[in-house]
Amino acid sequence: LSERGNIPKQIGEEASLTASSGEKALSFKVTDIQPHFQCTSPYAEAPENKSFVKIDITASTGSSEDLQELFYGDSMMFNPYDWKFVDSSGRTANDIGTAASYMCLDTGESLPDEIGPGENVSGSLILDVTDTSGTLVYAPVYDSAGWEWSL
């Protein structure tokens, strides 16, 4: 585990959450991370923090029961508020899911807003980070270790 208690991951390495059934409720890979990302949407705005980072993700979900157990609903999403950014000085950014990051991608590039049971998806997520180097942390389940990737 990292000093923050998360599981360090490399691009292309699988991460997963297993339900009490023993089945994977969520399995995903970060397939690419692009710092200094230039928005593709015609409605794009400048970053509110410092710079956009594009995270490409492929994911698959398990049964409705397993999603319910871990996410308290029959779907899940890669919510920007489940992500943190720790800059190169060790400071954690408060809000990296800004309105500007939401407006950054053109239609069809983003991950679906909700991912239901038994689905396979791919798409991108944009985060509005405070530095050009640091660590991205994804921790979607309360009181559980997350994963992290270095920029």
CB contact at 8 A, 6 and 23? no
Question: What is the model's pLDDT at position 132?
Answer: 86
CB contact at 8 A, 60 and 29? no
Question: What is the model's pLDDT at position 24?
Answer: 94
Q: What is the chain's pLDDT, residue by residue, as a tens digit (151 residues)? A: 999 999 999 999 999 999 999 999 999 999 999 999 999 999 999 999 999 999 999 999 999 999 999 999 999 999 999 999 999 999 999 789 999 999 999 989 999 989 999 999 999 999 999 998 999 999 988 767 899 999 9
Total residues found in the chain within this entry? 151
Whole-model pTM: value is 0.93
Question: What is the model's pLDDT at position 66?
Answer: 94
Question: What is the model's pLDDT at position 144?
Answer: 76
- CA 102 to CA 63: how far, in whole Å? 28
Residues in CB range of 8: below 8 A, 6 or more apart: 1, 2, 147, 148, 149, 150
Question: What is the model's pLDDT at position 145?
Answer: 82
Question: What is the model's pLDDT at position 94?
Answer: 79
Domain parsing of the chain, residue ranges: 7-137
Options 1.20.20.10, 3.20.20.70, 2.40.50.180, 2.60.40.1240; CATH of 7-137: 2.60.40.1240
CB contact at 8 A, 66 and 25? yes
Question: What is the model's pLDDT at position 93?
Answer: 92
Q: Which H/E stretch holds residue 64?
A: helix 64-71
Tokens of 49: 């923090």
Rg (CA), the chain: 15
Question: What is the model's pLDDT at position 31?
Answer: 98
